[in-house]
Amino acid sequence: MLLNLTDILSNEGKVEDFTITYSPAFYKKAGGQFKVLENGPISLKLSNTGKGKLELTGEGKLLLQARCDRCLTRVDIPISISFDEQISEECIQNPTEDADEFSYLDGYSLDTDILIGNEILINWPVKILCKEDCKGICPKCGRDLNQGDCGCDTFEPDPRMAVLKDIFIANKEV
């Protein structure tokens, strides 16, 4: 959704409140794409705080779906969004200065989907787990170990002892 900032920037002291939703069905980032289960509502407040200065505040909650990093089961991820940005008219007129910081601005238009997408990225969990003690999947057969043991032989010899093993094999009496 695009919001025009011209009216708010031209009237000192003007405040406008919006209730928006995150419109994409999927959130895309480098790790893949994630389904958006609940997309808002997100409250957004635009306030003219002085000549050519704008305060952008908002908060809301989203629910996205991803896969557990250990066992690959689907996990619902609640994301709390809260932002408080200060925008000056100079940043709008000269976008090269802070192009990355204000990527959601295109001239005097504010793209709420990009703004919310940036906030999702900031609040994205480092590790996604279905539960704290997730056992993951078996590296040999791929079975989900949370559902029970698979019976695979999981013994891995210590690679530092390989030299001793070779000595014993070479000197073994038949």
Across the chain, which has 174 residues, the per-10-residue mean pLDDT values are 85 90 90 89 91 90 94 94 86 63 80 91 93 91 90 81 83 70
Count structural domains, the chain. Answer: 2
User: Is 7 within the bounds of a domain?
Assistant: yes
Token pair 């895309």 is found at 28
Could you tell me if 115 and 167 lie in one domain?
Answer: no
User: Is 132 within the bounds of a domain?
Assistant: no
Q: CA of 14: how far to CAs of 53, 60, 115, 137, 162, in Å?
A: 11, 23, 21, 56, 75
pLDDT value at residue 5: 85
Could you tell me if 28 and 111 lie in one domain?
Answer: yes
Structure tokens at 37: 């289960």
**Domain limits for position 153:** 137-174
| Residue whose C-alpha is closest to residue 140's, from 153, 156, 131, 121 | 153
Could you tell me if 36 and 68 lie in one domain?
Answer: yes
**pLDDT tens across 48-76, in order?**
888 878 999 999 999 999 999 999 999 99
pLDDT value at residue 174: 54
| Residue whose C-alpha is closest to residue 83's, from 47, 125, 49, 116 | 116
User: Is 111 within the bounds of a domain?
Assistant: yes
Is the bond into 78 cis (omega within 30 degrees of 0)?
A: no
User: Is 128 within the bounds of a domain?
Assistant: no
Domain boundary among 83, 99, 123: 123
Could you tell me if 9 and 56 lie in one domain?
Answer: yes
pTM (global) more than 0.85: no
Could you tell me if 98 and 164 lie in one domain?
Answer: no
CA 39 to chain centre: 14
The C-alpha atoms of residue 148 and residue 68 are separated, in whole angstroms, by 17
Could you tell me if 84 and 11 lie in one domain?
Answer: yes
Could you tell me if 76 and 141 lie in one domain?
Answer: no
Phi and psi for 97 in degrees, rounded to 5? -65, -55
User: Is 22 within the bounds of a domain?
Assistant: yes
Phi and psi for 172 in degrees, rounded to 5? -75, 130
